[in-house]
Structure 1
């Protein structure tokens, strides 16, 4: 624009345009108005964590002493099963009642606050019928007890430092303490560390599944004691099941299946190579 035109309004006695006034900022909401939103977000996050990641559980009995004491709160990893992870020997797992394991057990009577906290996962839920035991055998394993022990998996005697002091690895009775059981596919065999005070897989052999727990019933693996603070500790998998021979029964089966599947492929490749060689030979003779 020419300079004389830019000055025209001022020369004509007009006032220069006023600069735009800054917009008034919105008054921040008070904390009390934002509190419901914050609570809602916290509840949603808590529900997501409870459903997919971690959940707290309370130990209801002495069946896992001395690893776990009655009243301990443990945190359970619920994430890895979503990625196809299966329970392994030696893990402490929480699982839903396979059927009638908790018959006759007292039912908790939580107050309203405990019910809400249990629903969002900040406290153990009193409505869920869950148990906690140690995985001893997985699919394909043969678990065996004779006399007072030792407990054997796939014919190998276990050294079990986690068993309650003074207990024998096996219970010498005719109510289920003596057994030899091969774990079916999709199941696990579980036992409590307090062997003389645990109604585990041994004592449910007369029920469907023979005492084995469906893997689908497993909620997750307990990995830490979170409460009380004086009991805080991790729950690592012991070295008990690392000794040679225990996993041979399982590793042999995939190897055999792999070999069986490879034989037809090898034969097909040999036949194809032979046909190709014959065709090439015929072409050279014709030429």
Structure 2
């Protein structure tokens, strides 16, 4: 569905240089800190910025030839035409998109308590986030590109957004989603595939099942660390008790070092160790 091969975009103090692929029928998460390059990558995919090298293919075609009707796009911290009232925005969307589902969109706005006669710039953060997602889902898109769609929302509002994404995927097995976040728990409960980005580079790519099943955090004393086989240790962080060690072969250490403590991996642990470990 999306193939990104060696794209590069350079700014004065930042360079995006990465490759990744998103397969049909999957939800792919892009996890990274604020400023890691997530939004820059989304802008490159949508041809909102010019990349210096590399290629981006969507549905097998160059991204510059993309039919925008096929993509639902939400860019971080933006909302379309904020000076319009929702009722006016609906009329505009109906004119812009070839396959806009007018009646269903109105029903969804009512279901999510969005006021039709209020200007978008007067909406709360949660209302704007829901509106952005509903617009992305309104015109038979096969691909969703969602940049930090849950940023700034409370737990209830975030779960509503995630449920809308899940429903979108359940309706057609050929659809796919690329969603970015710095909130790892959102991606852990939603995604099939995880990429981690830092300073413009992809530093990790695994399926979510692999991350949760095969990765683990070893807690070892300094003495245990001296005897530890480091072949499958990805990152190490010194702690008061000794060392925390991230491994992608926790079963190996369970079988060969039965006395050490091995904690189940979470994306929070993975995120912290990959960025803060050595």
Does the alignment reach a TM-score above 0.5?
Answer: no
Larger Rg: 1
Which TM-score applies when normalising by structure 1?
Answer: 0.21
Which TM-score applies when normalising by structure 2?
Answer: 0.22
Q: Give 1 or 2: higher strand fraction.
A: 2
